[in-house]
Amino acid sequence: KDTVPFGWNYDDSLLIPLVLPAKFPNLLVNGSAGIAVGMATNIPPHNLSEVIEGCIALIRNPKLTIDELIKIIPGPDFPTHGVIAGSNGIISAYKTGRGVITLKAVAEIVPKKDREEIIVTEIPYQVNKAKLIESIADLVKDKRIEGISDIRDESSREGMRIVIQLKRGENAQVALNRLYKFTQLQVSYGIIMLALDSRNQPVVFDLKQMLEAFIVHRKDVVTRRCIFDLKKAEARAHILEGLKKALDQIDAVIATIRASKEADIARGSLMSQFGFSEKQAQAILDMRLQRLTGLERQKILDELAEVQKHIAWLKQVLSSVDEIYKIIVSELEEIKANYGDERRTKIERSNEEIQIEDLIAKEEMIISMTYSGYIKRIPIDEYRLQKRGGKGLKGAEQREEDYVWRLFSANTHTMILSFSDRGKVYWTKVHQLPQGSRTSKGKAINNVIQLSSGEQVRAILPIEEFHAEHYVVMLTEQGTIKKTSLEQFSRPRPSGIIALTTDLDDNLIDAKTSTGKDDIFIVTREGMSIRFDEEEVRPMGRSARGVKGVSLGKDDKVVGLEVVTKDSKETILIVTESGFGKRTVMEEYRLQGRGGVGLITQKTTDRVGHVVSARLVTDKDQILLTTNKGQAIRMRCSDISVIGRNTQGVKLIDLNEGEFVTSVALLGEPVDDGDGEPGEQ
């Protein structure tokens, strides 16, 4: 389709494309290495999904800095996995085009009877496994590395496994450090991002320049392709218009053709008498008689309308750079959807690197998010402790139709996983959230994380560490439950990833962490609850749909999820929209089978209202209740009565007309010993 320029080969015997119409930045994704006279290039491979995300981000915001691009493309991604130690070399390469990174093997120290073993499962890029094992054996033989008794290659089709057995009493960490220092378990990889530019001149590119060069190339390819398609479409439309015109006066056309002695005379007569072009006249002469039927005539008219519509679209694209960029983005997203995968190579922080967390004090915060999606963090000291039944403090200034939807406490270094109603999860640190006062509005969540149009956050989960043996338990409004290893959420993506695949009429409402050996406790809006063993829910991949957790009655839906330890001494706090609450010991909730109807946990009446929250608490905990009018009240859980399961509870907060409780936040132990008098409005 004439998408790229052609030129003669080395001996002028053949026309060849000067460049290929690549749909993705293959120079970055595949990498390249080569040596020429006086220069060399060594571009490492990168993750396809990350590079495409970087291109799309740069198309949408050409003013992006390299630092902002590094958040999207954190570094090279090698097919042999491994670990990149530190990011200083990556930053240097991305900003200057030159840098040196350190690649390390992935090794684990495993106890074995009376000694330890070092198990290597991933080695650095371009390191030969056989030569690596041979070099380690030579170092042991020459006594440059001591303490190793045996080396075995136990690799199979299931993966790489090099076993380094240590002598009895040998310090495994010291031995591993020696191996990193003296063998190719740790290597330096020099990056030189040198390539030929559009003028065929060698240039050392930084990351942004390389992405910009691809975008310019892709824009040219799409433009040339559209011009080619437009010419073809206009030529076809010209023929179809001639056929339509001939069909409109078919009797006269047939008479003219029959009166002609030969084809050339007929062609000339059609052109002179009816104004057809030569191509139209030839198409009419080539037309089979079956095209004269009503059905065939309609096909010509339909095709003409479709071609004219396509021509209009092509002209619109060619008249607008934004339309061309939309096509580029769409094609990139399609490639990512079909071929994108997770990052293989991990990037570790080196000892000498200083992260922003090192400069930020570790402070406890209240994170507040409203129903319409405004989020902020507030120092926890701004909320005074109060007694049950008080009017509370004035919270955020909100629109009448907006109200606080989620509140929880976390420190400034905590990672926040935000789960959307569509089952996607997004990452952000607490210190990255806008800080405000109790009365400030906050910042729209879509300015903090990259939500899609119409997507809403439905669960927020603070995470300190991504333990492989821990899980994220997710629950939908229709009672579908699923758990996935927490480690699968340890690699942040700016555009988010799929955490749960939901049905069209369902959405995710909450998420919790678990150890894999806990109990699941679910509460519904109509006051039903069910407790079952977590092991009844098997671990699933991120894109799985899950299994039934609870059977719901008509018009009922899930409002609460808690993960309960087997020996839990906590009580379950139930709060209703009319401000009633109670605590009930978990022993009153017997284990049942997953997917059942459950037991009554709260009597719901017109006076009490429906259940809005169910939280596990102890006497030492505090809670913060918020209403749709922005009021907030903080109280000790010990001030709330512990009563039976099938009861309505006691009044926790005085509400004005039209006011109702919207959320309950668990704050932990008290921070002061005040008398807790009711606060001002």
What is residue 284's predicted lDDT score, i.e. its pLDDT?
84
Structure tokens given for 285:
């002469």
Nearest to 74 by CA among 335, 337, 447, 344: 344
Interacting residues of 82 by C-beta distance below 8 A, sequence separation 6+: 103, 104, 105, 106, 122, 123, 124, 125, 345, 346
- Mapping DSSP onto H, E and C, the string for 68-129 reads HHHHHCCCCCCCCCCEEECCHHHHHHHHHCEEEEEEECEEEEEEECCEEEEEEEECCCCCCH
Domain coordinates of the chain in residue numbers?
A: 1-101+186-353, 106-184, 366-668
Quickly tell me which residue has 């000067």 as its tokens: 18
Cα-based distances in Å from 310 to 119, 195, 231, 233, 625: 60, 38, 11, 7, 58
What is residue 400's predicted lDDT score, i.e. its pLDDT?
46
User: What's the CA gap between 624 and 613, in Å, rounded?
Assistant: 12
What is residue 290's predicted lDDT score, i.e. its pLDDT?
67
What is residue 567's predicted lDDT score, i.e. its pLDDT?
82
Q: Does domain 366-668 have CATH number 2.60.120.10?
A: no
What is residue 671's predicted lDDT score, i.e. its pLDDT?
38
Structure tokens given for 258:
């029959």
Other Cβ atoms closer than 10 A to 113: 7
Strand 661-668 and strand 622-627: the pairing is antiparallel
What is residue 129's predicted lDDT score, i.e. its pLDDT?
93
Cα-based distances in Å from 121 to 145, 171, 172, 523, 538: 21, 20, 16, 44, 27
Strand 6-8 and strand 15-17: the pairing is antiparallel
Structure tokens given for 194:
């040198």
Interacting residues of 116 by C-beta distance below 8 A, sequence separation 6+: 109, 110, 166, 170, 172
Interacting residues of 574 by C-beta distance below 8 A, sequence separation 6+: 523, 581, 582, 583, 584, 601, 602, 611, 613, 614, 649
* Phi, psi (deg, nearest 5) at residue 430: -60, -40
Query: In CATH, what class is 1-101+186-353?
Result: mainly alpha
User: What's the CA gap between 307 and 328, in Å, rounded?
Assistant: 23
Residues of the chain with pLDDT under 50: 352-354, 385-387, 398-401, 668-681
Query: Strands, DSSP E only, in 555-602?
Result: 558-564, 571-576, 580-585, 599-600
User: What's the CA gap between 84 and 125, in Å, rounded?
Assistant: 10
What is residue 679's predicted lDDT score, i.e. its pLDDT?
34
pTM > 0.75: yes or no = no
User: What's the CA gap between 215 and 79, in Å, rounded?
Assistant: 25
Strand partners for 368 = 376, 407
**What is the dihedral sign for C-alpha 603, 608, 614, 617?**
negative
Q: Does domain 106-184 have CATH number 2.60.40.1120?
A: no
What is residue 291's predicted lDDT score, i.e. its pLDDT?
66
Q: Is residue 405 within 8 Å of 375, Cβ to Cβ?
A: no
